[in-house]
Structure 1
Amino acid sequence: MGVFLAKKLRCGFACQQAGVGLIEVLVTLLILSTSLLALGAMQTRSLQFNQGAYFRSQANIFAYDILDRMRVNVVNLKDYDSALINVPENTAPVLAPLAAADLHAWRRNISAELPNGKGGIDCDDLTKICKLTIEWDELNSTGNAAEDKTTFTYSARL
């Protein structure tokens, strides 16, 4: 009979290890802490992606907003091209300020809702196709504007 078997027969169950060793506890704590850190990092990234999706949704809403305003004033479509709007001599004085007011309100909303938000419009009078561009800064994990610029471009025929 071997030494191990003889010792086991002599001690019975009393000689066997009872409980958990310190190494097993440390390994378990290491795995648990690593898992919790990964879970926290995943939650942070999820919040960042959620904020980015919110900004894209806002940009989409702003694009449809100005397009609806432009459809009302389609006669003066070219007046929506820039923020500095000069009233042409041959246009009715009532409609040209409408384009200026629309652009001002649209850009004010963009800058209020999007970090460092900017909006621009380029319209072609012949084809009546307008290209809207909305640009903003993405937020980093601290909530400050990062160097990453996101540009939302939308083309529509009015």
Structure 2
Amino acid sequence: MSLAGNRATMQSGIGMIEVLVAIVIMVFAMFALISMQIVALRYQKTAHLRSMASQFSADLADRMRGNIRGAHDGAYNLSRQRYPALGDPAPSCPGPGSCTSQELAAKDIHEWRTGLGNAMVGGWGEIAGSVADGFTVKVYFLDMLAAADGATPVARNCQPTAADPVLHREVSCYAAVVSP
């Protein structure tokens, strides 16, 4: 008896089952990569918003340093601020030498809040404090990722004074203490 006849029935190469298993594994790996990319993009957006909030806080601190008399007089310490309170008319201040420190502070805050509203969705800010203790600057912005976490971002990041955490669940807050 010869074994030569049995060699024709032996398999050579890759079978269909092996190819199918390899394709299924590759598909799951691709879905995992896509999911990781989506999560990374979401967190990148939140990081970008927080970076912008930090820059706007520094901008207001620089404005206060430029108007130190207004900071000492309490012109930057606003009371009864509510989110979002944009739409107030811009304070008129015709020239650099013709403004009082109070008018310049009102103009600074208006321009700062207008910039926040234009740069960030739902952007708004509040400020309170004194020169001796430092000013607490809070920047509010819409952050859908933080709202999806289940916790209220405003209550988690700031003591809610201007934004109601029940009404504004998707609003995040960035707080910084600055000294002029």
| 1:111 alignment partner AA | G
Which residue, out of 25, 30, 34, partners 2:28?
34
Work out whether residues 120 and 132 of structure 1, in 8 Å CA contact, stay in contact via their aligned partners in 2: yes
Quote the residue 2:103 is aligned against. 97
Partner of 1:79: 75
Alpha-carbon contact 2:75-2:101 (below 8 Å) kept: no
Task: Indicate conservation of the 8 Å contact 1:80/1:99, yes or no.
Answer: yes
Q: Give the conservation status (yes or no) of the 8 Å contact 1:81–1:120.
A: no
Q: Which has the larger radius of gyration?
A: 1
> SS of the counterpart of 2:5?
helix
Which amino acid in the other structure matches residue 81 of structure 1? N
Q: Distance in 2 between matches of 1:81 and 1:27?
A: 66
Q: What TM-score do the two structures reach when normalised by structure 1?
A: 0.76
Partner of 2:44: 50
In the alignment, the residues of structure 1 paired with residue 99 and residue 58 of structure 2 have an alpha-carbon distance, to the nearest angstrom, of 25
Q: Which residue of 1 aligns with 2:161?
A: none
RMSD, matched Cα: 2.5
Q: Tell me the equivalent position of 1:118.
A: 124
Aligned to 2:152: none
Give the secondary-structure state (helix, strand or coil) at the position aligned to 2:121: coil
CA-CA distance at 1:97 after TM superposition = 1.2
Structure richer in helix, relative to its length: 1
User: How far did 1:128 drift?
Assistant: 4.5
Matches within 5 A, 1:60-79: 60-77=54-71, 78-79=74-75
TM-score when scaled to structure 2? 0.68
Q: Distance in 1 between matches of 2:13 and 2:169?
A: 55
- Tell me how far apart the structure 2 counterparts of residues 100 and 11 of structure 1 sit (CA, whole Å): 98
Q: Distance in 2 between matches of 1:17 and 1:148?
A: 61
- Deviation at 1:14? 2.3
Counting aligned pairs with the same residue, the percent is 27
1:139: Cα distance to partner? Answer: 3.7
Partner of 2:134: 129
Determine if contact 2:77/2:130 at 8 Å carries over to the other structure. no
Equivalent in the alignment of 2:175: 153
1:129 Cα shift?
1.0
Relative contact order (C-alpha < 8 Å, sep 6+): which is higher?
2
